[in-house]
Amino acid sequence: MVNEHALTVSLEEFGLSKYESQAYVTLIAKGTLAASELAYYSEIPRTKIYPTLLKLQSKKLAIISKSKPIMCTAIAPEDAFDGIIHEQINKVNAMNSLVSNLKKASEESRKSRGSEEKRYFHISANNVLGQLQTMIDGSKSSIKIMTDQWGFGLLAECKEQILSVLRRDIDIKILTPPGQICSEAYRKIPDGVEIKASEITQNCFIFDETELLMINSNNGKGAILSSTEILGINQEKIFSNIWKSAIKTKALADMTKSEAQEIYKIIKIINETGLSFILNSTMISKKPEQDMFKLLEKNGISLKSKSLDDIIEIMDAVLQITCSGHVNFEANSKNITIESKLNSGHSLPWASVLEGCLQKQGYKTRTIYQNNSHKGEKVLIKITKN
Domain harbouring 123, CATH code? 3.30.870.10
Final residue belonging to a domain, choices 23, 57, 80? 80
Q: Is residue 86 part of a domain?
A: no
Q: By three-state DSSP, how is residue 18 classified?
A: helix
Shared domain check, 263 and 246? no
| % of residues, the chain, pLDDT over 70 | 86
Say which residue, 248 or 106, is predicted with more confidence.
248
Shared domain check, 376 and 261? yes
Shared domain check, 163 and 127? yes
Residue 238 pLDDT > 70: yes
Residue 278 pLDDT > 80: no
Shared domain check, 261 and 234? no
Final residue belonging to a domain, choices 250, 281, 306? 250
Residue 233 pLDDT > 90: no
* Gap between the Cα atoms of 328 and 261, Å rounded: 23
* Residue 285 CB contacts under 8 Å (≥ 6 apart), including other chains: 291
Q: Is residue 344 part of a domain?
A: yes
pLDDT confidence of residue 254:
84
Per-residue pLDDT tens over the stretch 322-378: 888 888 888 777 788 888 887 666 778 788 888 888 888 888 888 888 776 667 788
Domain harbouring 54, CATH code? 1.10.10.10
Q: Is residue 331 part of a domain?
A: yes
What is the domain extent for residue 49? 4-80
pLDDT confidence of residue 257:
87
pLDDT confidence of residue 118:
44
Alpha-helix residue ranges (DSSP H) falling in the chain: 4-11, 18-30, 35-42, 46-58, 77-80, 82-113, 128-137, 149-156, 159-167, 184-188, 229-245, 257-269, 275-284, 288-298, 308-323, 348-360
Q: Is residue 110 part of a domain?
A: no
Final residue belonging to a domain, choices 56, 80, 104? 80
Domain harbouring 287, CATH code? 3.30.1380
Shared domain check, 266 and 232? no
Domain count, the chain: 3
Shared domain check, 270 and 241? no
Binning pLDDT at 50, 70 and 90, where does residue 276 land? low
